[in-house]
């Protein structure tokens, strides 16, 4: 992924840090300790492992190893950088000097050893204040997401033309990777999935040497990364003469996806979107064959809030990005999944992965 000092302006980070301060205030936190690569990318524009950040209501510190110090310095702005010192000692010093009492950390974003060190220093596990901020995308983020989604939709059309008897799953993965690369985006959004024949019944199939035969389904679950933002799209194709059972299952999944999308609008919830898809599939008799969530938010992470799953209370707001991806899997036989990435608009939704 490209460093992004060029992609984002200093203004962008200033605004994001202001938003963060407001949320910290609302949560009665004096500061928050960030360790997640994506959170730190959002707050600094530098996408790398191995550095941490403490963002207080007054300012921001980055903690780095001596080795990383130059890179952190060159790729971030407006942060004080502490390099090559013991994290616990540095935290203690800042805490005392700035009289920070309540400092939170995200218990899912750091390991038990580091978490234990932080707890000893008086920090506490607390809900990540960036969750709500990152879920609503800014204009520049939407530009990246839009571009990633459009290229992915194009790649789906392209790869359809490459279906032929004998081609392997891995070969098609490579073709897709080359396609993104040719268009200037070398990073896929995740390990691409190509599944053929009965492999389509496995939602998380790992592509291998299976070869395409006539009259078999193929699933492509694909995406690329633009400016650090990802796209997510799934298409199920049938190579040859469609069987009646495939046609029926495909129709159910398509109807379920439409039903889910019909619930996407400001004020709706992830739970409501999920329920709409699930109802259609259950009514068709395939309820037990829909073994995953209906969708998820997409952004710097491929899976992020809002969560589109049973009972998810996440309330949709304009400019949130989410997927709708119901599926039906008949073990040992075949599966169908259809997925698009959507933007929540003022009144409903916009499909970003339209080709």
The contact set with a copy of itself (CB under 8 A) reads 1-3, 48, 66-68, 70-71, 105, 107-116, 125, 170, 173-174, 177-178, 181, 186, 202-206, 208, 291-292, 331
Q: How far, in Å, CA of 352 to CA of 345, rounded?
A: 11
Tokens representing 139? 């204009």
Backbone angles phi, psi at 209, to 5 degrees: -95, 10
Minimum Å distance from CB 116 to a copy of itself?
7
The distance of closest approach from Cβ of residue 226 to a copy of itself in the complex, given in angstroms and rounded to an integer, is: 14
In whole angstroms, how close is the CB of 295 to a copy of itself at the nearest point? 14
Which CB sits closer to a copy of itself, 39 or 316? 39
Query: Smallest distance, Å, CB 340 to a copy of itself?
Result: 21
Q: Report which DSSP code applies to 205.
A: P
| Between 83 and 136, CB nearer to a copy of itself | 83
Residues β-bridged to residue 322: 297, 342
* Tokens at 341, concatenated: 């990435």
Return the H-helix or E-strand segment holding 123: none
Q: How many angstroms separate the Cα of 83 from the Cα of each of 50, 67, 132, 306?
A: 11, 8, 30, 35
Give 13 or 51: the residue with its C-beta nearer to a copy of itself.
Answer: 51
Nearest approach, Cβ of residue 47 and a copy of itself (Å): 8
Give the residue with the Cβ less far from a copy of itself, 329 or 349.
329
By beta-carbon proximity to a copy of itself, the closer residue of 71 and 77 is 71
Residue 10: count other Cβ atoms within 10 Å of its Cβ. Answer: 11
Find, among 341, 113, 128, the residue nearest to 225 by Cα: 341
Write down the least CB distance from residue 343 to a copy of itself, Å.
Answer: 27
Q: How far apart are the first and last CA of the chain?
A: 25
Look up residue 231 and give its two tokens.
């796209």
* DSSP assignment letter at 337: E
- At residue 46's C-alpha, the angle toward residues 43 and 51, to 5°, is 85
How many angstroms separate the CA atoms of 343 and 135, rounded?
11
CB of 249 to a copy of itself, least distance (A): 18
The helix/strand/coil state of 128 is coil
Smallest gap from residue 352 Cβ to a copy of itself (A): 26
Cβ-based nearer residue to a copy of itself, 186 or 317: 186
Query: Which CB atom, from 98 or from 175, has the smaller least distance to a copy of itself?
Result: 175
- Closest CB to a copy of itself among residues 66, 99: 66
């Amino acid at each position: 992924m490209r460093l992004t000092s060029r992609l984002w302006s200093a203004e962008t980070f200033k605004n994001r840090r202001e938003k963060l301060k407001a949320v910290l205030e609302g949560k009665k936190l004096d500061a928050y300790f960030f360790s997640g690569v994506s959170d730190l990318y959002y707050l600094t524009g530098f996408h790398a492992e191995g550095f941490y950040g403490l963002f207080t209501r007054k300012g921001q510190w980055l903690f780095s190893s001596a080795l990383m110090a130059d890179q952190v310095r060159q790729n971030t702005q407006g942060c004080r950088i502490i390099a090559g010192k013991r994290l616990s000692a540095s935290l203690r010093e800042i805490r005392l000097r700035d009289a920070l009492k309540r400092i939170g950390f995200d218990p899912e974003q750091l390991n038990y050893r580091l978490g234990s060190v932080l707890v000893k220093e008086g920090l506490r596990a607390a809900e990540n204040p960036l969750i709500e901020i990152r879920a609503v995308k800014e204009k520049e983020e939407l530009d990246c997401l839009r571009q990633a989604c459009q290229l992915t939709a194009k790649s789906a059309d392209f790869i359809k033309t490459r279906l032929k008897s004998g081609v392997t799953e891995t070969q098609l993965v490579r073709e897709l990777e080359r396609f993104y690369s040719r268009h200037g985006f070398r990073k896929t959004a995740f390990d691409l999935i190509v599944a053929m024949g009965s492999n389509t019944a496995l939602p998380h199939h790992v592509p291998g040497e299976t070869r395409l035969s006539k009259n078999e389904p193929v699933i492509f679950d694909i995406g690329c990364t633009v400016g650090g933002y990802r796209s997510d799209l799934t298409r199920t194709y049938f190579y040859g003469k469609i069987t009646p059972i495939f046609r029926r299952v495909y129709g159910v999944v398509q109807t379920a996806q439409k039903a889910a999308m019909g619930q996407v609008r400001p004020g709706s919830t992830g739970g409501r979107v999920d329920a709409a898809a699930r109802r259609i599939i259950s009514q068709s008799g395939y309820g037990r064959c829909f073994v995953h969530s209906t969708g998820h938010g997409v952004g710097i992470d491929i899976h992020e809030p809002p969560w589109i799953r049973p009972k998810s209370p996440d309330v949709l707001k304009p400019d949130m990005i989410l997927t709708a991806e119901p599926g039906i899997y008949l073990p040992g036989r075949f599966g169908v999944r259809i997925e698009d990435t959507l933007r929540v608009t003022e009144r409903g939704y916009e499909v970003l992965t339209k080709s």
